[in-house]
A and B are shown apart, each in its own frame.
Chain A
Amino acid sequence: MLAQLLTFAWTAPSLDYHALAPEIIVAATIVVLILVDVFTGERSRWASSSIAGIGLLLALIPIATLAYDGVDRAMFGGGFVVDNYALVLKALFLVAGYVVILLSTNYIAEGDYHEGEYYTLLLSSVLGMVVMASARDLISIFIALELVSIPAYMLAAWRKRDQNSNEAGLKYYLMGVFASAILLYGMSLIFGITGSTLLVDIGAELGSYVSSQPIITLGIAFVLIGFAFKVSAVPFHQWAPDTYEGAPTPVTSFLAVASKAAGFVAILNVLFIGFYGRHDVWEPLMWALAALSMTVGNLIALRQTNVVRMLAYSGIAQAGYILAPLAVAGATLGTGSEALRSIVVYLLIYAGMNLGAFAVVLAVARKTRSGEIKSFGGLFSYAPALTVCMTIFLFSLAGIPPAAGWFAKLSIFSSLASAGTASGYVLAVIVGLNSVIAFGYYGRLIRVMWMDEAPDGDRTPIKVPASLSFALIITVAVTLVWGVFPGALTHFTDHITLFSLLR
């Protein structure tokens, strides 16, 4: 009887194991990590980071084969899609996760933290991101988002004997669940109206209204505000600086780059597939969020004295730049795909340059044991290579060629200008003015490194461990190569598109 009922109500979905391979490999690595941690003693704890790193690199292999294959694959009734867009972002998350592992290796090993658990949680979060890139359904998006966030709450509080770290974790957790609640409420409203959780169906249903209904507006606004918390857009950013400062620095880099990118991916998914037809609702919202985020983030960043806090506010401003193209994305399909591409380009470049900046902060903190901007004084005199790396990253963040950031910003400008509307040009000018303000603090850090004296006259060189050096090499190479040959990057992002744009 029971068996009969089951076969009637539930038919097993056809699984495309090739398409799921990246997720399966990451999940398997998590299992291996737990087992290794349980069955081996203290002696082999060092293995955790290697296993985690290798696992992420292995997961890149099926991504390469899938990209080579080039066929879009959809599963679970269209709720899980593997296409160019998803593959590019999955690769981003895996590589960013790998770099974060490189950044963590020495920090976690030397700090006497729980290595096995740390990497397990880190990989769980990465798994959530990888799923997010493919999620095309409200439920799977929500699950992916929680899978990203919940391990991150714990990671933020990882230095458990440190009050700041506890504050970081708690604040992040409380704001995170608050955001999730708002998000869920918005999702339920949307589901109530459209009767579906599948983004494609939602898109068709919402697009069929001539103008927006109050309840639709409310639903869309709540969903987007929920994600705005995740990407720390102003005015939903208050948690970010405290969390970033209190969390262990490798975790901060993870939150600032990978976790934030996951939030943006979620926004892209719902916006371009689910809500695309209702651009009359979300365009003004995005305009305001973008303009506020970049302006407020930059202005507050000017006044920071701590490097990590400065990078946190800079990240808020960068979130503003990333949101900017969405303010004009609904005009035509052309501007829509332009906006989508420019955001993905920005996310890729942002990951490279920001992880690099955190790598330098970590390396310098190994000597100075401080995150104050002052502690970078005279860096050029005793660590010229690190100074040059940091300078490249900061110039990149400021958008000055030949570091890759200029192309990211150019893409943003370009998609804003492509709309050809007054609001697009005005926002482009705001982005331009903000780039100038931003150099005020990026330039100050550069100035301190190059032109100031070492604060305590201590000029012993910094020993950079191998894994950090490797992370620096990857990020510098990426930042410079993409800056000089942007074609090497656009090659991957040329053909990305989201479902509804095709229709």
Chain B
Amino acid sequence: MKDFLNSWGISLMVFLPLVGALAMLVVPKAKEQFHKVVALAASLVVGFIGILLMTNFDYDASGRLQFVVDMAWIPIINSRYIVGIDGISLPMIALTLLIVPLCIIYSWNRFPEPKNPKAFLILILILETGMLGSFVAQDLILFFVFFEVVLLPMYFMIGVWGGEKRQYASLKFFLYTLFGSALMIVAFLALYFLSDKVSVDGQMMHSFDVRLLPELATGISTGAALWIFGGMFIGFGIKVPMFPFHTWLPDAHTQAPTVGSVILAAVLLKLGTYGFIRIAIPILPGAAEKWAPFIGLLAVIGIIYGALCCLAQTDMKRLIAFSSVSHMGFVMLGIATLTTFGFQAAIFGMVAHGLITGMLFFVAGSAKDRYHTLDISRLGGMLKSMPRMGWILGFSVMASLGLPGLAGFWGEFPAILAAYEPGLGLNVAFFRVLMVIAAIGTVLSAAYLLWMYQRVGFGVPSKEFEEDPHLHDVTFSEWLAWTPILILIVVLGFVPNIIFKVTDGAVSRTISIVNGLGG
């Protein structure tokens, strides 16, 4: 078993969704039941393989890449098929494996217009392959390919199944990300050519191997490293999204179908932050140190700016989208401190934000199905008309604003605390100022979330929805999709160590690289 997982586990997990998609491709679209069952089965089997991998994962050595497969892929440029899991990627993979089947269950009987479950589910499965692949890839080119593969299904999901301005939103999403990845690939290649060579089958070649590059890249001059880091910064920063690059996000979120929003918020945004932690910072720690104050500054601007934008929103989904900008700001602040504590907070924040914001988008989507609008001023009295849904919304809002005892808390507060004592060589006073501003951001986030909840949840239903027969409470498929997330939010809130323990080893290793070489 262990041997099998070692050599095939990850590849099977990554490519099985594609096998499911291929099977669905050849069956006519009229057989909707078949497509739903196959898609769900595929995602569940993938989840099962994931669980097998996680149970066989050696948690005492979470800093080490496990289940590594290393095979030749494009020999001419020495780009290899290298996949592996360590403590940083494991939580991300778990998050993906959880969210995808839940999304399929959620959409079981409610495919957005123009229906066509076959195409919709095929896209979700391709998306799953792309996301999982990005989190396991340990070769820059392989990572890039998976990173881009994620784009396509999301583009179609927003563009075909989205809201009224879907075409604009999907194109904006695509062009932004494409711009980032174009610069990113140039940065990767510059890194490749400027770093030292390694011996491959007796031949000295450059390498894209993420495991080796921190050492190989030490010889790169500071100036070049700063440029290369800048290219990656734009590529990953757009995906996060960081402050000046965030404008695609509200449009994409507002226009995307519910499931699209959930996946986008829960997993896709994390590709950006994950890229920083996995690739940009460990490989170029010197440049990271120079960039860190700037990143921290943008992160804090994002926190405040996102929160202020939230206060100005009239649409519930758009509000949640801007809250993502704000919350991802905390994650980036944690990363910018370049400390073990900050990184841990960031990874926890990524998972927590994935669960909580995903949950908020689920509720928003369900509310939209019933009210046919998300205009906050027209909603109201959800607790009266749909008490259970109202409570779930309230719960998610509390989690999102960082109430201690729920998952959101452990993402935000450690990140703020980490800024008190930033990593080696960073300006302490500057980061403390950032810390104070970020702390003000948490107050703002409480303000906009509670304000939104008051107007949506409290009060009495407005006239137009008083007798509306569409307003029925949480359905079975919604319970099925939401319960695991709700439980996890509580469990992670009480026992944050579940994640901190997993990430600890890997993060310490990364930070020791940063300090050892970049100090």
Contacts and interface: CB of A to CB of B under 8 A. Distances in A.
Interface of A: 341, 384, 395, 398, 400-402, 406-407, 410, 413-414, 417-418, 420, 425, 428-429, 431-433, 435-436, 439-440, 443-444, 447, 450-451, 485-487, 490, 493-494
B149 A401 contact: yes
Contact of A417 (B141, B145, B178, B193): B193
Interface stretch (B2-10, B71-79, B457-465): B71-79
Interface string B167-210: 10011001100110011011001101110000000000000000
A493 B76 CA distance: 9
Contacts of A429: 183, 186
Interface string B42-76: 00000000000000000000000000000011111
B149 A417 contact: no
A398 B175 CA distance: 11
A450 B178 contact: no
Contact of A451 (B72, B167, B179): B167
B151 interface: yes
A428 B189 contact: yes
Contacts of A395: 152
A376 to B, nearest CB: 14
Contacts of A447: 159, 167, 170-171
Contacts of B194: 420
A431 B189 CA distance: 14
A407 B79 CA distance: 12
Contacts of B186: 413, 417, 425, 428-429, 432
A410 to B, nearest CB: 7
Contacts of B420: none
A410 B144 CA distance: 11
Nearest to B25: A388
B215 interface: no
A410 B185 contact: yes
B152 A433 contact: no
Interface string B138-171: 0001001100110110011001100000110011
A402 B142 CA distance: 10
Given A486-B74, A487-B73, A413 B185 contact: yes
Nearest to A444: B171
Nearest to B147: A401
A343 to B, nearest CB: 14
A435 to B, nearest CB: 5
Contacts of B151: 400
For this complex, into which size category does the number of interface residues on chain B fall?
A: 35 or more
A444 B182 CA distance: 19
Contact of B75 (A436, A439, A490): A490
A432 B175 contact: no
Rank and list the top 4 A-B pairs by shortest CB-CB distance, nearest first: A432-B182, A417-B189, A490-B76, A401-B145
B75 A406 contact: no
Nearest to A440: B175
A494 B76 contact: yes
Contact of B77 (A402, A414, A420, A433): A414
Interface of B: 72-77, 119, 141, 144-145, 148-149, 151-152, 155-156, 159-160, 166-167, 170-171, 174-175, 178-179, 182-183, 185-186, 189-190, 192-194
A451 B160 contact: yes
A417 B167 contact: no
A407 B148 CA distance: 12
Given A447-B171, A487-B74, 12 more contacts: A406-B145, A410-B141, A410-B185, A414-B77, A417-B186, A417-B193, A432-B185, A436-B179, A439-B174, A443-B155, A485-B73, A494-B76
Nearest to B158: A451
Given A436-B179, A436-B182, A450 B174 contact: no
A418 B151 CA distance: 28
B178 A439 contact: yes
B148 A406 contact: yes
Contacts of A400: 148, 151-152, 178
B174 A443 contact: yes
Nearest to B206: A418
Contacts of A406: 145, 148
Contacts of A420: 193-194
A435 B148 CA distance: 13
A451 B166 contact: yes
Contact of B144 (A401, A431, A444): A401
A261 to B, nearest CB: 21
A71 B36 CA distance: 57
A125 B122 CA distance: 43
Contact of B171 (A432, A433, A443, A493): A443
Contacts of B141: 410
B72 to A, nearest CB: 7
A486 B78 CA distance: 12
A450 B156 contact: yes
Nearest to B76: A490
A400 to B, nearest CB: 5
Q: Which of A398, A414, A425, A431 has the most B CB atoms < 10 Å from its CB?
A: A414
Given A435-B178, A447-B167, A413 B148 contact: no
A414 B179 contact: no
A36 to B, nearest CB: 41
A402 B130 CA distance: 10
Contacts of A487: 72-76
24 contacts: A398-B178, A400-B152, A400-B178, A401-B149, A402-B145, A406-B148, A414-B189, A417-B186, A420-B193, A420-B194, A425-B186, A432-B179, A432-B182, A436-B179, A436-B182, A440-B175, A443-B155, A443-B171, A443-B174, A447-B167, A450-B160, A486-B73, A487-B72, A487-B75
A384 B145 CA distance: 25
A439 B159 CA distance: 15
Contacts of B149: 401-402
Nearest to A490: B76
Nearest to B180: A436
B185 A425 contact: no
Nearest to A488: B74
B170 to A, nearest CB: 7
Contacts of B193: 414, 417-418, 420
A335 to B, nearest CB: 10
A435 B182 contact: yes
Contact of A433 (B76, B179, B185): B179
B74 A417 contact: no
Q: Which of A398, A417, A425, A450 has the most B CB atoms < 10 Å from its CB?
A: A417
Nearest to B185: A413
Nearest to A432: B182
A436 to B, nearest CB: 5
A417 B152 contact: no
A378 to B, nearest CB: 11
Q: Which of A425, A431, A432, A494 has the most B CB atoms < 10 Å from its CB?
A: A432
A414 B174 CA distance: 23
A400 B190 CA distance: 20
Contacts of B155: 443
Contacts of B189: 410, 413-414, 417, 428
Contacts of B182: 431-433, 435-436
Contacts of A418: 193
A316 to B, nearest CB: 19
Nearest to B156: A450
A138 B175 CA distance: 45
Contacts of B179: 432-433, 436
A137 to B, nearest CB: 30
Contacts of B156: 450
A450 B194 CA distance: 42
Q: Which of B119, B170, B189 has the most A CB atoms < 10 Å from its CB?
A: B189
B19 to A, nearest CB: 14
